[in-house]
Amino acid sequence: MKAAVVRAFDRPPSYGDFEEPTPKTGETVVSVTAAAVTPLVISRASGAHYSADARLPFVAGVDGVGKTSDGRRVYFTFPRPPFGSMAEHVPAPVALLIPVPDELDDASVAAAAVSGMSCWIPLTGRARVPPGESVLVNGATGAAGQMAIQVAKHLGAGKVIATGRNEAKLRNLSELGADVLLPLGQPTDQLREAIRKEARESSIGVVLDYLWGPSAEAILDALGGPNAPRGAARIRFVQIGTLAGPTVSLPGMKLRSSGLEILGTGIGSVTNQEILMGIEGFLKALAAAKFRVPVDVHPLSEVERSWRASTEDKRVVFTIP
């Protein structure tokens, strides 16, 4: 079969032949129609992600949309290595197949699923946002951050506060439902004070952090410690991505003297069943609410040329005829 094959960690996958999958007990073979390039996919294909299988060669991709042998249209995730979603066929666990609502096209589902899961699972689970409570999205100009704004509003957030470094793109987020826009290029002390002001006035309950690094430090400093706003019960800081840096400096006092809690969401911090339920819930919401999903579609045969064509706010999706 044809597939996007990772043969070396220092270059993009190449379009070529790969062995056909033979399903094991509990699996079925899905004929793939669409699979997206996400930061997770790129990180695993470069061997950098903690969940990556380091044995070469393997097929790129962690999730996608396709059809089962009986014609059902399904979303699938985490095929058994060395197989990946960017191939004509993939062995998928039957228990992890999710039906795709008829209202959604394959490319949109492939592009939105991981972004949607990253915010849907925390906002409906451990960091559940009740109606009226506000959500701060750190790194809101990217595809995942844009989806987080829409999901938070859909779930009844009182206000959505969005941060971003690209001020032109940040201004456009009002169209998606962002109520407050905070540029990350402003001086750190001004950013901290702006966040404290919103925490006092808007009852920030959840922070969805796609960046980590310096901006996360500023947010943690603003919401924790002796200068933090008082009266807030719990502020759930959910760590999702590390696009701005792998580490932060966090004095323990900031946790001891405030209602700040730090949670993670990702592979290993949630169960497969939680991921399954989260994606299924998100896809139903995507069909009902018609969230905006920017997509850049390419045939799989262009994988090497288009591997890094994703922009900050648009997902590349490869389609397989």
Q: Do 70 and 210 belong to one domain?
A: no
Q: Do 54 and 154 belong to one domain?
A: no
Say how far apart CA 234 and CA 237 lie, in whole Å: 9
Say how far apart CA 61 and CA 50 lie, in whole Å: 15
Q: Do 132 and 185 belong to one domain?
A: yes
Cβ contacts of 29 within 8 Å, gap of 6 or more:
21, 23, 69, 89, 90, 91, 92
pLDDT of residue 312: 67
Q: Do 38 and 66 belong to one domain?
A: yes
Assess if residue 271 is contained within a domain. Answer: no
Total number of domains constituting the chain: 2
Q: Is the pTM value of this prediction over 0.85?
A: yes
Q: Do 256 and 119 belong to one domain?
A: yes
Residue 256 belongs to a domain with what CATH number?
Answer: 3.90.180.10
Exposed / middle / buried, residue 288 (Cβ in 10 Å: 0-12, 13-18, 19+): exposed
Assess if residue 134 is contained within a domain. Answer: yes
Greatest alpha-carbon span in the chain: 61
pLDDT of residue 50: 72
Assess if residue 288 is contained within a domain. Answer: no
The tokens for 113 are 């699923």
Q: Do 33 and 166 belong to one domain?
A: no
Assess if residue 274 is contained within a domain. Answer: no
Assess if residue 125 is contained within a domain. Answer: yes
Buried b (16+ CB within 10 A) or exposed e, 120-139: bbbbbebbebeeebbbbbbb
C-alpha closest to that of 162 among 185, 179, 186, 175: 179
Q: Do 188 and 258 belong to one domain?
A: yes
Assess if residue 158 is contained within a domain. Answer: yes
Say how far apart CA 58 and CA 21 lie, in whole Å: 12
Assess if residue 43 is contained within a domain. Answer: yes
Say how far apart CA 104 and CA 284 lie, in whole Å: 10
C-alpha closest to that of 303 among 46, 96, 11: 11
Assess if residue 107 is contained within a domain. Answer: no
Q: Do 96 and 176 belong to one domain?
A: no
Domain range for residue 135? 115-264
Say how far apart CA 218 and CA 15 lie, in whole Å: 43
Q: Do 96 and 119 belong to one domain?
A: no
Q: Do 38 and 170 belong to one domain?
A: no
Q: Do 243 and 162 belong to one domain?
A: yes
> What are the pLDDT tens digits along the chain (321 aa)?
999 999 999 999 999 999 999 999 999 999 999 999 998 899 888 887 777 677 899 999 999 999 999 999 999 998 999 999 999 999 999 998 999 999 999 999 999 999 999 999 999 998 999 999 999 999 999 999 999 999 999 999 999 999 999 999 999 999 999 999 999 999 999 999 999 999 888 889 999 999 999 999 999 999 986 666 655 568 999 999 998 999 999 999 888 888 899 999 987 788 878 888 899 999 999 999 999 999 999 999 999 999 988 766 789 999 998
Q: Do 220 and 120 belong to one domain?
A: yes
**Chain-centre distance for alpha carbon 118:** 4
